[in-house]
Each structure stands twice: as structure tokens, then as C-alpha cells.
């Protein structure tokens, strides 16, 4: 069997194993990120929703503004799931046993990341549907909705790179869990809750230069009407850069951990 | 007889002080969850909410005056809610290790273990409360009542911390799980948000307003706000003290009951 075909087949096997495990643990893998994101959106809607009734607010309702961010939030609050699984595989000796088989150890990493990308679809779609039920605007129909979910998938691959890198560099479950709150400053200091016109000058500068803002603005533009292709290009490029750096470094740690000698 | 045993049998105050100091020593070895964590969300909210949501004061129905001044006495109360119950980790660990079983051979009542830790819960919130107030005043908070106003706010936050920790102790005793504070952490969010801590009631949609009106955190926040911006001796303060006394009685009853039934089983 050619090496590429074998790699794809083995990656698929790891994907299937990871998926089976996640379905058995659906509460943590799928339901918790969905509910947590919805919970935060609803809580802020209850407290600050009426800010949308003030002069200069760009959408009809608060939920119109925050729903696209809420979809991406489901990725942040659920991050690190498969990276934690990889650590368990390292602890249990599974990775060591892989070294005895005629397979490329990188298939384990590839299969898990592929599943992480797929997993993101479930909470992202769930949050999107709940937001629409709560009255959020979606002016580009199915295409816009699919676009936002696709951005969530891209964000999931890139953001989880940080968790894989931490898992493989430290081999410490607490270090991986400890990265969870990292998303808070990322969303707080972006256009997640309010547009830049509602921010004081210093905050606007931070939000404008926050690397997450273009991705968020692109997702929002897909739901609110005119797609911001420029933001989409910049956002996806930044996500690609994050993925290259984190997975590049993570792969070196991984190769060292799974090398034949 | 060892000095500590003599102290425990003679004076309940001495036994409490021993538990307090043992808990304080444990917290000193791991200051993150005990001293830093309670302050972090409130500090972040102070910076972010004063900047992002100041314009909520233009919303129809808002009658809270300057938003920064309104927010600070509310957000400081969140120190007691987000990052709460850290001592329940030690309660669970002591139950698991058999420490409580050994205590039964000694004269002090086992509930001394809970009361001493509650006193520490009240004390450990002080650095966080101070930090949030200091930052809040830098960012536009106001205090019309000087030191007595500040002291009232600090006392309210500590008492709320004591009341809320009882829930954590009760759960930690039942589960014997040192992860209890992390698992109960999300409960603090609705308690904090669906109160008057961040915005006045008329700005909320009906469902949130109804929940906030019956949330026991609301009277505490209202008293804290009154202590800094209104009259020091207010009806709000009386209401808050009554609610806190009731809440402490209820949560302590739960925790003591949990401990008694746990020890009766073992």
C-alpha cells in the first residue's frame, strides 16, 4: 500500500477511535461547550442587552451583534478536548505501543486534529440555531450560516494548536486545563460585545489590533449582510499563521516523544 | 496532654484559632485559588465593563446616575461569588484522608473545623476586595462616606463569602471531592449577573428583572451601593444584614447536617 494511502487510512482509524470516545462522553465534548456559550450570551443579553436601544448601535438588537461571536465562543469554551485525550494516550502507554506498529505516529496527531475540526461543527451549529431562535439576524440564509460554522472550524483547528503545543511540551494535564481562561481576554478585548464606536480610544486600539477581531468581524459580516472579504482574508491568514507555529512546534515535541529510538 | 489538645478542650476560641491558622497555612502554600482567583474576574470586569458598557446609562429606564460610580460597589461584591469556596477543597481532602475521623477522638466538636474555615473565608477575601475597590476608584468609582463606607462594603463582601461558602462545604462533604470549587464555579455567574451588581433592575428584560429581584445577592449589592453613594445607615443595609444572617443560617445548617450525617455513617 502506498505510504500516502496508508497514512490517510490510519488517520481515519484514529479519527474514528477519537469520535467514538467523544460520543461516549458527549456531555463534555458537545453539550457543555454549546450550553456554556449560550449561557454567556443570554446572561449578557439580560444585563446589557438594552445598550442596543442607545443611539449609534449598529444592529436592531443586541443578539444580532453577539450571535456570530457566540458561535465562535463555543470553540473557545470547548478547547483542549482532544489535546487532553492525547495526553491520556501518552500516560496510558498507547503512544508507546504505536511505535511497535508499521504506522506513522503522526497519524495519531492528524486524526485527533481532524476530529477536533469536526467536533467544532456540533456546538457551533447548536449555538447558531439557538441564537436564531432567540431572534438573531441572518441575512445571507444558509450560505451565511455555513460560512460562520466554517470559520468556527478554522478557529477550532488553530486555537487547539495552542493546547496541543502545551500538552506535548509540558505533558501536564493541569497546564492544558490552565490555558482554558486564555480566551477571556481574547474575546473581552475585541468587538465581541460592542462595536468600536462604543469603546474609549485605548480600548478601541487594543480591539483593533487584537488578532481575533478580523475573524470575528468576518463572521459577523456573513450574518449581518455584506461579507467583509478583507477581514475574512486577514482573519483566516492569522489563524493559518497560528496553526503553522503551534502545530510546527508541537510536531517537533511529538516526533521526539514517538521516535523509534 | 499536648498543648493544642489542652487548648481545644478548654476554650472553643482556641480550637477555632487553630483551625483558622491551619487553613491559613494551607492557603499560604497555594495562594492562587485563595487570594488571587477571587479578585481576577472582578478586576477584569471593572476594567472591561466601565469601558465597554458605559453607554448603558443612555438606555431607556436607566436611573443609576454615572455608570462607573454605579458599577464599582456592585462589581466588588462579585469577589465573594466568583472564586468562592476555596476552603472546601481542604474540607474534602481532610475527609478523604481520615483526618476528620481522627478528630472524633478529641474533645473539639467537628463543626469547629467548618467554623474556623468560614472565618478564614471571610479573611481571605480582603486582599481581593481591596484590590477591586482601589482599581475601581481609579476608574471613576465614588465614595461619599469615607472609611466607614469602605468598611461596610468590605464587611458585606466577607459576610456574603461566608454565606456562600456554606454551599461549597455542604457539597464538598457529600462528594469528598477536592475539585468542588471548580465544579460549582459556574453557579456564581448567574448569581452575580442576575442581580443589581451590574445594571439597575429597570434596564433588564422582564425575565432577568424577576430573577434579579428575588436573588439574595441583590440586597447585598444594594446595601454596598448605598454605603458608598448614599446613606451609610440605610434600609438597604438592614435588609442586607437580615438576608445575610438568614443565608448564613441556612447554608451552615446544610453544611453541619452534611457533616453530621457523614460522620454518623463512618
Identity of the residue in A49, A184, A198 whose CB atom sits nearest the CB atom of B52: A198
Residue B52 in contact with partner chain A when CB distance is under 8 A: yes
Identify the DSSP state of B84: -
Residue of B nearest to A50 (CA): B59
Q: In whole angstroms, give the CA distance from residue B139 to residue B46.
A: 8
Best CA proximity match to A67, nearest among A128, A19, A8:
A128
Residues of B with CB below 8 A from A45's CB?
Answer: 205
Exposed/middle/buried for residue B239 (C-beta within 10 Å: 0-12, 13-18, 19+): middle
Among B36, B37, B50, B55, the residue to mutate for chain A (most A Cβ within 10 A): B55
> Residues 6 or more apart from B213 whose CB is under 8 A from it?
B201
pLDDT of residue B12: 74
Number of other residues whose CB lies within 10 A of the CB of residue B127: 16
Digit-by-digit pLDDT tens for chain B (266 residues) are 444 444 444 577 888 898 899 999 999 998 888 998 889 999 999 999 999 999 999 999 998 899 999 999 999 999 999 988 889 988 998 888 888 888 777 777 778 888 999 999 999 999 999 999 999 999 999 999 999 999 999 999 999 999 999 999 999 999 998 888 888 888 999 999 999 999 999 999 999 999 999 999 999 999 999 999 999 999 999 999 999 999 999 999 999 999 988 888 76
Please report, for residues A41, A54, A59, A136, B147, the alpha-carbon distance to residue A49 in angstroms, rounded to integers and kept in the order given: 10, 10, 12, 13, 35
pTM of the complete model: 0.88
Contact B43, B126 (CB under 8 A): no
Contact B72, B227 (CB under 8 A): no
pLDDT of residue A256: 85
Identity of the residue in A40, A54, A184 whose CB atom sits nearest the CB atom of B44: A184
Mean pLDDT by 10 residues, chain A (261 residues): 89 95 94 96 96 96 97 96 92 85 87 97 98 96 97 98 95 86 93 97 97 98 95 98 96 83 57
Radius of gyration of chain B (CA): 19
Q: In whole angstroms, give the CA distance from residue B29 to residue B134.
A: 26
Radius of gyration of chain A (CA): 19
Contact A15, A114 (CB under 8 A): yes
Identity of the residue in B44, B55, B189 whose CB atom sits nearest the CB atom of A43: B189
Best CA proximity match to A259, nearest among A119, A95, A140:
A95
Largest Cα–Cα distance of chain B, in whole Å? 70
3-state secondary structure B231-246: CCCCHHHHHHHHHHHH
Exposed/middle/buried for residue A26 (C-beta within 10 Å: 0-12, 13-18, 19+): exposed
Whether residues A188 and B199 touch (CB distance < 8 A) is answered with: no
Contact B168, B181 (CB under 8 A): yes
Number of other residues whose CB lies within 10 A of the CB of residue B126: 15
Q: In whole angstroms, give the CA distance from residue A192 to residue A63.
A: 11
Residue of B nearest to A198 (CA): B52
Please report, for residues A29, A30, A52, A164, the alpha-carbon distance to residue A81 in angstroms, rounded to integers and kept in the order given: 7, 10, 35, 10
Runs of H (alpha helix) within A78-200 = 81-92, 94-98, 106-133, 141-170, 173-178, 183-188
pLDDT of residue B8: 43
To the nearest 10°, report the CA torsion of B26, B31, B32, B35. 110
For the four alpha carbons of A226, A229, A230 and A232, in that order, the dihedral sign comes to positive
Among B59, B191, B207, B215, the residue to mutate for chain A (most A Cβ within 10 A): B59
Identity of the residue in B59, B186, B208 whose CB atom sits nearest the CB atom of A54: B59
Q: Cα distance from A204 to chain B (closest Cα, Å)?
A: 10
Q: In whole angstroms, give the CA distance from residue B140 to residue A200.
A: 14
Residue showing cell 479578585: B39
Number of other residues whose CB lies within 10 A of the CB of residue B141: 24
Whether residues A51 and B61 touch (CB distance < 8 A) is answered with: no
Among A51, A58, A196, the residue to mutate for chain B (most B Cβ within 10 A): A51
Whether residues A194 and B199 touch (CB distance < 8 A) is answered with: no
Question: Where in chain B are the domains?
Answer: 18-265
Q: In whole angstroms, give the CA distance from residue A186 to residue B48.
A: 12
Residue of B nearest to A49 (CA): B204
pLDDT of residue B10: 55
Amino acid at each position: 500500500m502506498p505510504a500516502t494511502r496508508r497514512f490517510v487510512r490510519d488517520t481515519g482509524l484514529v479519527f474514528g477511535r477519537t469520535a467514538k470516545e467523544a460520543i461516549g462522553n458527549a456531555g463534555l465534548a458537545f453539550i457543555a461547550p454549546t450550553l456554556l456559550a449560550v449561557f454567556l450570551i443570554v446572561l449578557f443579553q439580560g444585563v446589557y442587552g438594552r445598550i442596543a436601544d442607545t443611539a449609534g448601535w449598529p444592529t436592531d438588537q443586541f443578539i444580532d451583534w453577539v450571535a456570530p461571536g457566540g458561535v465562535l465562543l463555543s470553540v473557545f469554551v470547548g478547547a483542549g478536548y482532544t489535546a487532553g485525550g492525547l495526553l491520556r494516550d501518552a500516560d496510558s502507554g498507547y503512544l508507546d505501543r504505536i511505535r511497535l506498529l508499521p504506522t506513522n505516529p503522526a497519524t495519531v496527531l492528524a486524526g485527533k486534529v481532524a476530529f477536533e475540526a469536526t467536533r467544532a461543527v456540533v456546538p457551533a451549529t447548536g449555538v447558531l440555531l439557538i441564537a436564531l431562535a432567540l431572534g438573531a439576524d441572518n441575512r445571507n440564509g444558509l450560505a451565511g450560516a455555513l460560512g460562520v460554522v466554517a470559520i468556527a472550524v478554522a478557529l477550532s483547528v488553530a486555537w487547539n494548536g495552542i493546547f496541543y503545543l502545551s500538552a506535548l511540551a509540558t505533558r501536564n494535564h493541569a497546564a492544558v486545563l490552565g490555558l482554558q481562561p486564555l480566551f477571556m481576554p481574547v474575546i473581552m478585548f475585541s468587538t465581541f460585545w460592542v462595536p468600536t464606536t462604543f469603546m474609549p480610544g485605548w480600548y478601541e486600539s487594543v480591539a483593533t489590533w487584537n488578532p481575533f477581531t478580523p475573524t470575528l468581524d468576518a463572521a459577523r459580516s456573513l450574518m449581518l449582510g455584506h461579507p467583509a472579504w478583507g477581514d475574512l482574508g486577514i482573519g483566516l491568514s492569522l489563524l493559518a499563521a497560528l496553526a503553522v507555529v503551534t502545530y510546527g512546534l508541537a510536531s517537533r515535541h511529538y516526533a521526539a516523544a514517538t521516535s523509534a529510538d | 496532654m499536648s498543648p493544642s489538645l489542652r487548648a481545644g478542650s478548654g476554650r472553643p476560641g482556641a480550637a477555632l484559632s487553630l483551625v483558622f491558622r491551619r487553613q491559613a497555612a494551607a492557603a499560604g502554600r497555594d495562594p492562587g485559588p485563595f487570594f488571587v482567583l477571587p479578585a481576577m474576574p472582578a478586576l477584569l470586569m471593572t476594567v472591561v465593563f466601565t469601558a465597554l458598557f458605559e453607554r448603558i446609562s443612555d438606555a431607556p429606564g436607566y436611573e443609576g446616575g454615572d455608570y462607573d460610580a454605579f458599577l464599582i460597589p456592585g462589581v466588588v461584591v462579585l469577589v465573594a461569588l466568583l472564586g468562592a469556596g476555596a476552603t472546601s477543597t481542604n474540607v474534602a481532602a481532610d475527609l478523604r484522608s481520615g483526618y476528620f475521623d481522627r478528630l472524633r477522638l478529641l474533645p473539639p466538636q467537628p463543626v469547629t473545623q467548618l467554623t474556623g474555615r468560614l472565618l478564614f473565608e471571610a479573611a481571605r477575601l480582603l486582599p481581593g476586595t481591596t484590590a477591586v475597590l482601589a482599581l475601581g476608584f481609579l476608574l471613576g468609582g465614588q465614595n461619599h462616606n469615607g472609611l466607614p463606607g469602605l468598611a461596610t462594603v468590605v464587611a458585606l463582601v466577607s459576610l456574603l463569602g461566608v454565606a456562600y461558602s456554606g454551599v461549597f462545604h455542604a457539597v464538598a462533604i457529600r462528594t469528598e471531592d477536592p475539585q468542588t470549587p471548580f465544579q460549582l464555579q459556574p453557579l456564581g455567574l448567574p448569581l452575580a449577573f442576575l442581580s443589581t451588581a451590574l445594571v439597575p433592575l429597570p434596564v433588564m428584560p422582564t425575565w432577568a428583572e424577576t430573577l434579579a429581584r428575588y436573588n439574595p445577592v441583590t440586597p447585598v449589592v444594594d446595601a454596598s451601593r448605598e454605603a458608598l453613594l448614599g446613606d451609610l445607615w440605610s434600609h438597604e443595609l438592614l435588609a442586607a444584614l437580615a438576608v445575610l444572617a438568614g443565608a448564613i443560617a441556612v447554608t451552615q445548617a446544610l453544611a453541619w447536617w452534611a457533616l453530621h450525617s457523614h460522620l454518623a455513617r463512618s
